[in-house]
Amino acid sequence: MSGLTSMGMGELAAAIKAKKTSASEVVDAHLSRIAEKDASIGAFLSRDDDRARADAKEVDARLARGEDPGALAGVPIAIKDVIHVKGLATTCGSKILNRFATPYDATVIRRLRNAGAIVLGKLNMDEFAMGSSNENSAFGPVRNPWDLTRVPGGSSGGSAAAVSARFAAMALGSDTGGSIRQPAAFCGVVGLKPTYGRVSRYGLVAFASSLDQIGPLTRSCADAALSLSVIAGQDVHDATSSPRVVEDYGAALGESARGLRIGVPRDFLKGVDAGVMAEFDKSIAALQADGAAIVDIALPNAPHAIATYYLVATAEASSNLARFDGVRYGLRTESAASKSSLKDMYGETRDAGFGPEVKRRIILGTFVLSSGYYDAYYLRAQKVRTLIRRDFETAFASCDVIATPTTPSPAFKLGEKTANPLEMYLADVFTVPANLAGVPGLSVPCGFSNGLPVGLQFVGPMFQEATLLRAGHALERLMGAAAAQPPV
């Protein structure tokens, strides 16, 4: 049964529909692995074992009646704890919401359930999606399955670790400045940030509303394509969702990179770890040998992306998080019994309220929006954001996708960067520009540096996820890194 946890989404759904296994067997195998291994990783904040088993039995019953349970029949998935799942707590990795139980499913959850997917539980994350290492969670850090002394990345660190460790075939994350792609690279899985508006944000707790996007973390580009085909599309509950027709992303994967024009912004690739750069160069050479054309491009304003992002994102966060005031949402105090219960679940706890990173960003955002500073900081940042978007538009006139390392280094050690927030922020230097421009980004495993996974990022024009996934699928075939399994 343990082999079931190593199968991909499409493979599992096909096996269940063909009755080579059952949804109940698949769910039990994943729950057993979580019970055995997650104590050392810390990916899950809450689990829904009873409903997962009940939903699996329903999938099996529908198959027995000759019904089609959907494209994801019996596939076990897990959800970042910033997305609402009815019946489960949504903590956003924060003590301020530890008693909040959501009354509805996010649109992406409803679509996944309708397709037959089975939710196993909610995953750990940096508090309110603010962080690059998952060390900002109020409930303790997640550990990287490749090396338990290292971070899994953030803020979707629990999602990346869960997929890497074979706890779930797919996990949903959210990406505001790289929070799907960066942990995907650190944990050796595929992470897709769709175009802004491609996937509904209804039921996603907002960090920065003009940047946030829900996306899947999987173990292959084929599974990412399958996931996106299910969750993408217009939603009447989200005015920013696009009415554009959802493509069959799987049909576009292809077998080679022949004909693809891949842009490489060499001038932007500064300060990259030598091992990461070696794997990137090796990957680009392999794609070129496979028939892709490599094009030198420039992104002249990309070096300003980090500064721009931390003005725009913090300004929006200071507005969005104002609701967590202990009146509408959140807790001001906790009873002794509540603190004791939390300690039993998560170990040592801090008082209810925002953690230091969230406070830092709220204060910074409030400052840049304040009278006398709005024009000097926030308005100027929005102007630079426009320049970054125009850089992408210019680059895409000569290439189909842009390739960079996903991160400047492999996963760093727990505690290594916590004392230096600026150094932590720079871990997202290659991922942030895509969010500012609203374009899609995809991180694909491309090799290893000192035994740790390395990711290559493809960025494409708006709504060209199919082209990104085709490039990623070609890279998987060439480098053979996507299916690598961590030692945990």
Q: Among this protein's residues, is 80 annotated catalytic?
A: yes
Sheet holding 214-218, edge to edge: 44-47, 118-123, 76-80, 170-174, 214-218, 190-193, 441-449, 452-459, 401-405, 261-264, 293-296
Q: Which helix (H) or strand (E) holds 23?
A: helix 23-41
**Which stretches does DSSP call E strand in 358-440?**
401-405
Q: Is 6 a catalytic residue?
A: no
Nearest to 438 by CA among 238, 247, 177: 177
Pairing state of beta strands 401-405 and 261-264? parallel
Contact 51, 58 (CB under 8 A): no
Q: What does the alpha-carbon distance between residue 253 and residue 237 come to, in Å, rounded to a whole number? A: 31
Q: Which amino acid is at 223?
A: D
Which DSSP symbol is given to 19?
A: T
The single-letter DSSP state of residue 43 is: -
Q: Which of 17, 80, 95, 122 is catalytic?
A: 80
Contact by Cβ (8 Å): 292, 261: yes
Q: Which H or E run includes 85?
A: none
Annotated catalytic residue, options 22, 155, 156, 283:
155
Active site residue 155: yes
Residue environment code for 106-122, b if the CB has 16+ CB neighbours within 10 A, otherwise e: bbbbbbbbebbbbbbbb
Q: Is the peptide bond between 409 and the residue preceding it cis, with omega within 30 degrees of 0?
A: no
The catalytically annotated residue of 179, 220, 283, 409 is 179
The residues, any chain, with a CB within 8 Å of residue 299's CB and separated by 6 or more, are: 265, 267, 268, 388, 391, 392, 395, 402, 433
β-strand partners of 199: 232
Tell me the catalytic residues: 80, 155, 179
